Amino acid sequence: MAAAKRISDEPAFVLHSYDWSESSLILEVFCRQQGRVALVAKGAKKPSSNFRPVLLPLQPLLVTYTLTGDGSADIHTLKGAEWVGGHVMPTGDALLSGMYLNELLLRLLARADPHAALFDAYAGVVRVLASEHGDALEPVLRSFELLLLREIGLLPGLDVQTMTLEVLQPKTRYTLVPEGGLRASSSADRAGLLGVQWQTLQRALDDAATYTATLRACAPVAAELKPQLRALLQYHCGSPMLRTRQLMIDLQAL
């Protein structure tokens, strides 16, 4: 019998975990080279398990696992996990924001579909979430939402009107809507950006240093982008509403 193929020291983050048996967990993991992968962590719930203090969300890991069968199975077997270090667990609003990003990745990324650039952007966002830079929270979230949508092919071009392909006018206001993409704003639109601002965002997305450039471009327009990107993301996630979004709404109502 051929030996099982082994993936070693793969940079990864745990997105979610749930019970598989009395002692084991199923993990949904975002890997840099392998994409989203489901792994069984046998014995991870035992008090003596080396996995127990390591398999936490929003923490950079190196994971080693073996592929089940010919590699086409849905779940593979975790063999090792090492905390890379570098930052502590985010808390408060930053922790909730991190769980929101994890839910987006779970809902929108197909398994075994690698997105190395998106992984690097996610790692950068997590570092900010774990820092004391609360003023950067909104821009980093908006930049990641844009990068995620672009990476999976759900973001229209931001320098033209989606339906007509007409070039945006710098001083005209446009709105990004789920059903029609980018269009001229109407009186009913609650949010929008000037054409020049959308064009700036598109240039940032096309920049070689995409994450840094997009973060800078999002900073002055983060508040206006928020409702537009959230609506677009929920549209593509489908029903029900994202659990983290509902939790945010419930907390704000208290």
Confidence of residue 55 (pLDDT cuts 50, 70, 90): very high
**Residues 58/89, Cβ–Cβ less than 8 Å:** yes
How many whole angstroms separate alpha carbon 71 and alpha carbon 90?
34
CA 59 to chain centre: 14
pLDDT digits over 208-218, tens only? 999 999 999 99
pLDDT at position 70 is 66
pTM more than 0.95? no
Cα-based torsion angle of the residue sequence 141, 245, 104, 25 in order, rounded to the nearest 10 degrees:
120
In terms of DSSP H, where are the helices of 21-115? Answer: 92-108
How many whole angstroms separate alpha carbon 235 and alpha carbon 213?
26
Residue 32, phi-psi category: left (phi > 0), alpha (psi -120 to 50), beta (remainder):
alpha
How many whole angstroms separate alpha carbon 234 and alpha carbon 230?
6
**Residues 39/101, Cβ–Cβ less than 8 Å:** no
Confidence of residue 251 (pLDDT cuts 50, 70, 90): low
Residue 198: its H or E element: helix 195-206
Cα-flanking dihedrals φ and ψ of residue 27, to 5°?
-110, 140
What CATH architecture applies to the domain 92-253? Up-down Bundle (1.20)
Region 32-46 average pLDDT: 95
- Res. 245: pLDDT tops 50: yes
pLDDT at position 128 is 92
CATH superfamily for 6-83 is Nucleic acid-binding proteins (2.40.50.140)
Confidence of residue 1 (pLDDT cuts 50, 70, 90): very low
**Residues 30/12, Cβ–Cβ less than 8 Å:** yes
pLDDT at position 187 is 79
pLDDT digits over 74-122, tens only? 899 999 999 998 888 888 889 999 999 999 999 999 999 999 999 999 9
- Res. 253: pLDDT tops 60: no
- Residue 25, SS3 per DSSP: strand
- Res. 155: pLDDT tops 80: yes
pLDDT at position 44 is 93
Strand order in the sheet with 173-177: 181-184, 173-177, 193-194
**Residues 43/73, Cβ–Cβ less than 8 Å:** no
- Kindly report which listed range (58-67, 111-120, 125-134) carries the lowest average pLDDT score: 125-134
Region 236-253 average pLDDT: 74
- Res. 2: pLDDT tops 60: no
- For the chain, the structural domain boundaries read 6-83, 92-253
pLDDT at position 167 is 97
- Which residues partner with 206 through β-bridges? none
DSSP for 114-172 reads --HHHHHHHHHHHHHHTSS-GGGHHHHHHHHHHHHHHHTT----SSB-TTT-PBPPTTS
